[in-house]
C-alpha cells in the first residue's frame, strides 16, 4: 500500500477474533435501529467498481438474509436486523488520513481471506474498512453478532474479485 500507514497482519481466524475483540480503537456510533443507513455517492471509476461489487454480494452473510430495509442502491447493502451494513465508495478512514484528528500511523489491520481490513470499535460493535484497494468498502457489524469479524468471511470473496488492489 503506497499511501497507507496501516500495518498488515496475517492472523488465523481464532487469533483475529481475539485481536478484534480486544481492540480499543474509537469511532463513530451506529445509527439507531430503524434509521436508514447513509448511502455513499461515489463517481467515475469508484462508482463502476462499487456496482461490480454490488452484483457479487452474497444473499446471506453470517447466516443473515439480505434486507430491503435500507434505500435501494448499488453502493450499499444490509443483512439481518439489526443490520450488518456494507457501504462502497466511502472516504478514507480518518484513522488513516494524515492531519485528521484521529490519525494513527501505527493502526493495525487484519487480513481475512486475502482482504485487509481496518477494525474500529464502535459504541455497539465494529466498523471494518478495506485498505490497500482502489475503493474503500466499509462494513459495520452490531455487537449482537459477536464475533464481529464473521461477516467478513462471507464478504471477502466478493470484495477481492470486484475491488482492485492498489498494489
- Please tell me the predicted confidence (pLDDT) of residue 12: 44
pLDDT at residue number 129: 98
What is the number of domains present in the chain? Answer: 1
Element (H, E) at 110: strand 110-112
Per-residue pLDDT of the chain (167 residues; tens, 9 = 90+): 444 445 444 444 433 333 333 333 333 333 334 456 789 999 999 999 999 999 999 999 999 999 977 788 999 999 999 999 999 999 999 999 999 999 998 889 999 999 999 999 999 999 999 999 999 999 999 999 999 999 999 999 999 999 999 86
Instruction: For residue 36, tell me if it sits in a domain.
Output: no
Enclosing domain of residue 59: 1-24+47-100+109-141
What's residue 16's pLDDT?
38
CA distances from 59 to 83, 88, 153, 161 (A): 13, 17, 14, 16
Question: Does residue 154 lie within any of the structural domains?
Answer: no
Judge whether 69 lies within some domain: yes
Q: How far is CA 61 from CA 81, 84, 102, 150, in A?
A: 12, 8, 30, 8
pTM of the model: 0.78
Decide if 118 is inside a domain: yes
pLDDT at 105: 84
The reply to whether 42 falls in a domain is: no
The verdict on residue 151 lying in a domain is no
Amino acid at each position: 500500500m503506497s499511501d497507507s500507514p496501516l500495518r498488515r497482519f496475517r492472523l488465523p481466524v481464532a487469533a483475529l477474533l481475539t485481536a478484534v475483540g480486544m481492540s480499543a480503537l474509537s469511532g463513530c456510533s451506529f445509527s439507531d435501529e430503524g434509521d436508514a443507513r447513509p448511502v455513499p455517492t461515489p463517481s467515475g471509476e469508484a462508482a463502476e467498481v462499487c456496482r461490480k461489487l454490488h452484483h457479487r454480494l452474497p444473499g446471506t452473510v453470517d447466516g443473515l438474509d439480505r434486507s430491503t430495509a435500507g434505500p435501494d442502491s448499488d453502493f450499499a447493502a444490509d443483512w439481518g436486523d439489526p443490520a450488518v451494513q456494507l457501504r462502497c465508495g466511502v472516504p478514507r478512514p480518518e484513522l488513516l488520513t494524515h492531519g485528521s484528528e484521529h490519525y494513527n500511523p501505527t493502526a493495525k489491520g487484519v487480513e481475512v481471506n486475502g482482504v485487509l481490513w481496518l477494525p474500529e470499535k464502535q459504541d455497539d460493535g465494529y466498523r471494518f474498512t478495506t485498505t490497500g484497494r482502489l475503493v474503500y468498502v466499509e462494513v459495520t457489524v452490531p455487537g449482537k453478532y459477536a464475533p464481529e469479524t464473521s461477516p467478513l468471511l462471507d464478504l471477502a470473496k466478493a470484495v477481492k474479485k470486484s475491488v482492485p488492489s492498489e498494489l
